Amino acid sequence: MAPRYQGSLMTTPAPSPASATPPAATETDRIRTALGWMHTAHFLTSAPQLEHLPPVDLPEIAFVGRSNAGKSTAINTLTQQTRLAFASKTPGRTQHINLFGVGKQKIDDGVLADLPGYGYAAVPKEAKLRWQRVMGNYLMTRESLRGVVLMVDPRQGLTELDEILLDVIRPRVAEGLKLLVLLTKSDKLTRSEGARVLSITRLQAGGGEVKLFSALKKQGVGEAAELLWRWIHPNT
Ligand SMILES: Nc1nc2c(ncn2[C@@H]2O[C@H](COP(=O)(O)OP(=O)(O)O)[C@@H](O)[C@H]2O)c(=O)[nH]1
Ligand SMILES: [Mg+2]
């Protein structure tokens, strides 16, 4: 057998000078950076109603989803904190909007907004309609809004209220608003169920990213954190 061509040994690049741009960070590095950044999340303020949410100067990421979709658990997992967002076994409990600051060296460069879950059956109809209006208003007009993370239980798929929400933000997504749909509790799906719901939701989420996510199995956590980090740091 002929010896393998060894020509590449001759073209090994010379060591780069100190001034050269550093090599691109590997995916592992980027995930580590993003998780470290998410971990700095800390409580800023709470508003009893969306209308009372103070304006912020920093780019904001809103976490939204149907009650019981796994939103609080996802926020806690992404920030690697146990009780940042109160995870409750009773759906529809958290009606406050909580803002969390996030940033390295104690300098916040982003805000996470935990919005109340919707679609809880026991909420009176009028309150539901009011909530839809207020939420729609926030999603359409909040100036600091950089991105939306929509948590969806993949065993239910997108519900009517999720679709209304996606319709509301679609024009802003077309103009650059970021969207990530997290299919939560993916540990409850088989591999083929996961692949199927992923492709269906991708079709429905026009323009947004869709990822499988499990707080229990820590699936998709680093990737989601990295995406959110890039939303807030688009030039790095
Ligand atoms: N198996 C599994 N259960 C989860 C996961 N994330 C959340 N849950 C459960 O789903 C329920 C609702 O979660 P929670 O975070 O309170 O939902 P929220 O109402 O959207 O904030 C709780 O019983 C959680 O323990 C997950 O990744 N895997
Ligand atoms: Mg919750």
Please write the tens of the pLDDT for every residue from 183-209.
999 999 999 999 999 999 999 998 899
State the pLDDT confidence band at 9, using cuts at 50, 70 and 90. very low
In percent, the amount of the chain with pLDDT more than 90 equals: 65
Dihedral sign for Cα 169, 171, 172, 177, please. positive
Single-letter residue type at 78: L
More confident residue, 129 or 205: 205
What is the rounded CA–CA span in Å between residue 4 and residue 19? 36
**Cα-to-centroid distance, 63 and ligand 2 (Å):** 10
Which atom number of ligand 1 is nearest to the Cα of residue 91? 19
Q: Decide if 76 contacts 98 (C-beta within 8 A).
A: no
Least confident piece of the model among 133-142, 143-152, 181-190: 133-142
> Residue 193: CB partners within 8 Å, gap ≥ 6?
154
- pLDDT tens readout for residues 20-41: 666 778 999 999 999 999 999 9
* Residue found under tokens 């806690």: 76
2 alpha carbon to ligand 2 midpoint, in Å? 65
Report the alpha-carbon distance of residue 3 to residue 100 in Å, rounded.
61
Question: Nearest 5°: phi and psi at 96?
Answer: -75, 155
Please give all residues whose beta carbon lies within 6 A of any atom in ligand 1, as ranges: 65, 67-73, 87-89, 91, 117, 151, 184-185, 187-188, 214-216
Contacts of 65 (CB under 8 A, 6+ apart): 71, 117, 118, 150, 151, 152, 162
Domain spans of the chain, in order of start: 26-232
> What is the spatial distance between Cα 129 and Cα 132, in angstroms, rounded to a whole number?
5
- Class of CATH domain 26-232: alpha beta
Three-state secondary-structure class, residue 118: strand
Pick the residue whose CA is nearest to atom 24 on ligand 1: 70
- pLDDT score of 89: 56
CA of 184 to the centre of ligand 1 (A): 8
- Which comes out higher in pLDDT, residue 127 or 62? 62
Q: Closest ligand 1 atom, CA of 92?
A: 19
Q: What's the pTM? A: 0.88
Nearest-atom number in ligand 1 for the CA of 217 is: 27
Answer for the pair 177, 169: CB distance below 8 angstroms, yes or no: yes
| Nearest Cα residue to atom 3 of ligand 1 | 185
CA distance 67 to 162: 11
Provide the token pair at 149: 């993370």
- pLDDT band at 236; cut points 50, 70, 90: confident
Ligand 1 atom index nearest CA of 66: 20
From 66, 67, 73, give the residue whose CB has the most ligand 1 atoms within 8 Å, as the site to mutate. Answer: 73
Distance of CA 2 from the midpoint of ligand 1 (Å):
60
Distance from the CA of 67 to the center of ligand 2, in angstroms?
Answer: 7
